[in-house]
Chain A
Amino acid sequence: MKTAHQPGSQPLEIPESIPNPAHEPRTLPTPTTKPVKAPEKVPEKV
Chain B
Amino acid sequence: MAIKYQLEDLLVQLHRTTPAKVDAIRESCRRSENGLLSVGLKIHYLGEGAEFDPLIDALGGAEEILVNHYRNTKATLCFVLPPVGNAHAAIWLLQCIERSVGIALFNNPQIQIQVCTPGRIDKENSAILAMCFYLGSDVLRRYNLNDFETTFTTYVTHPMFGGPTDLSRGMRIVLYDAYGDFDKNFEWWKIAGRARALEIAPQLPFDFGRSDVLTATSPVDVRNINLVATLLVHATFGGYWEKLGKKFVKDFKELLDRHMLTALLGAPWLRTDEPETFDNDAFYAALQELTAYALGEAERLKKLQRRFFAWRNSEPDTSILEEVHDLLAAYRKVMRTEALRFIGEEKK
Interface set of A (CB-CB < 8 Å, partner B): 2, 14-24, 29
Name, among A15, A21, A23, A29, the residue most crowded by chain B CB atoms within 10 Å (CB to CB).
A21
Q: Would A21 and B141 count as touching, CB distance under 8 A?
A: no
Interface string of B308-334 (1 = CB under 8 A from A): 100000000001011011000000000
Q: Does B295 count as interface, using CB distance less than 8 angstroms?
A: yes
Q: Would A2 and B142 count as touching, CB distance under 8 A?
A: yes
A-B residue pair count with CB separations less than 8 angstroms? 40
A40 to B299, CA, bound (A): 51
16 pairs, A vs B, C-beta closer than 8 Å: A14-B142, A16-B141, A16-B142, A17-B140, A17-B142, A18-B139, A19-B140, A20-B137, A20-B139, A20-B325, A21-B305, A21-B321, A22-B321, A23-B220, A23-B325, A29-B308
Closest residue of B by beta carbon distance from A24: B305
Q: Would B138 and A20 count as touching, CB distance under 8 A?
A: yes
Q: List residues of chain A with CB within 8 A of the CB of B302.
A: 21
Q: Which of B142, B295, B301, B308 contacts A22 (CB 8 A)?
A: B301
Closest residue of B by beta carbon distance from A18: B140
Q: Would B142 and A21 count as touching, CB distance under 8 A?
A: no
**With contacts A20-B325, A22-B322, A29-B308 known, what are 19 further pairs, Cβ within 8 A?**
A2-B142, A16-B109, A16-B142, A17-B140, A17-B142, A18-B139, A18-B140, A18-B295, A20-B137, A20-B138, A20-B321, A21-B301, A21-B305, A22-B301, A22-B319, A22-B321, A22-B324, A23-B220, A23-B325
Question: How near does chain B come to A18, taking the closest CB pair, in angstroms?
Answer: 5
Q: Does B290 count as interface, using CB distance less than 8 angstroms?
A: no
Question: How near does chain B come to A25, taking the closest CB pair, in angstroms?
Answer: 11
A42 to B137, CA, bound (A): 63
Q: Does B256 count as interface, using CB distance less than 8 angstroms?
A: no
Q: Would B220 and A18 count as touching, CB distance under 8 A?
A: no
Q: List residues of chain A with CB within 8 A of the CB of B139.
A: 17-20
Q: Would A20 and B308 count as touching, CB distance under 8 A?
A: no
A16 to B141, CA, bound (A): 6
Q: Which of B138, B142, B308 contacts A23 (CB 8 A)?
A: B138
Q: List residues of chain B with CB within 8 A of the CB of A17.
A: 139-142
Question: How near does chain A come to B225, taking the closest CB pair, in angstroms?
Answer: 15
A23 to B325, CA, bound (A): 8
Q: List residues of chain B with CB within 8 A of the CB of A19.
A: 138-140
A18 to B300, CA, bound (A): 13
Interface hits, B207-260 → A, CB 8 Å: 220
Q: Does B298 count as interface, using CB distance less than 8 angstroms?
A: yes
A19 to B322, CA, bound (A): 13
Q: List residues of chain A with CB within 8 A of the CB of B325.
A: 20, 22-23
A23 to B137, CA, bound (A): 8
Q: Would B308 and A18 count as touching, CB distance under 8 A?
A: no
Closest residue of A by beta carbon distance from B137: A20
Q: List residues of chain B with CB within 8 A of the CB of A24.
A: 305
A4 to B321, CA, bound (A): 27
Q: List residues of chain A with CB within 8 A of the CB of B220.
A: 23
Q: Which of A14, A16, A21, A29 contacts B298 (CB 8 A)?
A: A21
Q: 8 smallest A-B Cβ distances: which pairs?
A: A22-B321, A22-B325, A21-B301, A17-B141, A23-B138, A22-B322, A17-B139, A20-B140
Q: List residues of chain A with CB within 8 A of the CB of B138.
A: 19-20, 23
Question: How near does chain B come to A30, taking the closest CB pair, in angstroms?
Answer: 13
Q: List residues of chain A with CB within 8 A of the CB of B308.
A: 29
